[in-house]
Amino acid sequence: MKLFSIFLLWLLSSSLLAQPSEPVTILAIERQGGLPQFLMERKGSLYSFAHLGDSILENKALGIRLTFPHGLRGDYFTSIARNQLSDFGFSFNHFVFIRLIFFDYNSALIRNDASAELDKLAELMLSYPFAEVEAVIHTDSRGSVSYNQKLAAQRGNSVANYIREAGVNSRQLKIKVSGEESLVTDCINAQDCDEQIHQFNRRAEFIFKPIVK
């Protein structure tokens, strides 16, 4: 009898462990200076994860907390997020990671590397037609403040035109012109900085605004 009971417990635990993983879609949108905006689509609902400092993402409704090494970014972030969500029993229909886009000096043209990210953004917006995206457009500090405001506006128009030509309703996209107001490096007032440092400032950031839980 005791052996039979042990066998039943083993059979029950084995069946629980063998349950198929639940497929979900993950949306991650890179942010400057912090963990990405992070959302999960599960069974037709979209869940947003709160940022707790610079190393934790949490959704209390799902009972999920993801932890990351301080300052972690890019591909390592995706790998760690996948591994932790797999431990919670999830598999992935899609894992979409949209990065910041960057511009060349004194240019509003969409670069090839930027077009790849805008294609992913357009697909996201087409999938959620009732959601909005805010695009925040930045410049480096070379040139006058007024000139950089105009340049940022031109870059915003380039982004808007690209998204519209991809079939997205123009009302879904809001452009916020920042210019040189939010520099991420110490290259203030056109200091003699390395070009790569200036590049970090010539960027566009995206904020996805859906209805979430």
Stretch 130-142: mean pLDDT: 94
The reported pLDDT for the residue numbered 50 is 96
Question: Cα(67)–Cα(48) distance, rounded to whole angstroms?
Answer: 15
- The pLDDT tens digits for 81-121 are 999 999 999 999 999 999 999 999 999 999 999 999 999 99
Residue 4: is its pLDDT beyond 80? Answer: no
20's tokens: 């198929």
Determine the distance from the C-alpha atom of residue 70 to the mean position of all C-alpha atoms in its chain, rounded to a whole number: 17
52's tokens: 């707790």
CATH class of the 100-213 domain in this structure:
alpha beta
Question: Cα(112)–Cα(132) distance, rounded to whole angstroms?
Answer: 24
Domain with CATH 3.30.1330.60 in the chain: 100-213
Where is average pLDDT lowest: 11-20, 26-35, 122-131? 11-20
Residue 33: is its pLDDT beyond 90? Answer: no
Question: Cα(114)–Cα(124) distance, rounded to whole angstroms?
Answer: 15
The pTM is what?
0.85
157's tokens: 């128009």
Sort 140 into a burial class: Cβ within 10 Å, 0-12 / 13-18 / 19+.
buried
